[in-house]
């Protein structure tokens, strides 16, 4: 695991309690070679119509503030 991936996982762990408070969850899937973070939205987040807004305005913003080298955070379905 790279140092950047470790940092990404730490940011996700800091965000998770906020999503869990609303019945959702997020899990790390992968960090691509071009610094895109793929995550899976789970629970209420998986079916919420606002999940894209949460992902971009919440998770991605927090990730990019903590780690400016991250280009984006994308939700994928496993």
Where are the domains positioned within the chain?
A: 3-75
The CA dihedral of 8, 14, 26, 73, to the nearest 10 degrees, is -40
Q: What is the pLDDT of residues 3-59, one digit of tens each?
A: 999 999 999 999 999 999 989 999 999 999 999 999 999 988 888 788 888 888 889
Assess whether pLDDT exceeds 80 at residue 78: no
Beta strands in 5-62 (DSSP E): 24-31, 36-43
Q: pTM here?
A: 0.90
In CATH terms, the superfamily for domain 3-75 is Fe-S cluster assembly (FSCA) (3.30.300.130)
For residue 76, CA distances in Å to 3, 24, 31, 67 come to 23, 15, 12, 21
Task: Tell me the pLDDT tens digit for each residue of 44-61.
Answer: 888 878 888 888 888 999
pLDDT for the residue 29: 97
């Amino acid at each position: 695991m790279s140092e950047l991936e470790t940092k990404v996982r730490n940011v996700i762990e800091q965000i998770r309690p906020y999503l869990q408070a609303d019945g959702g969850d997020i899990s790390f899937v992968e960090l691509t070679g071009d610094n895109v973070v793929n995550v899976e939205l789970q629970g209420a987040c998986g079916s919420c119509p606002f999940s894209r807004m949460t992902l971009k305005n919440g998770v991605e913003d927090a990730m990019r503030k903590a780690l400016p080298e991250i280009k984006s955070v994308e939700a994928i379905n496993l």
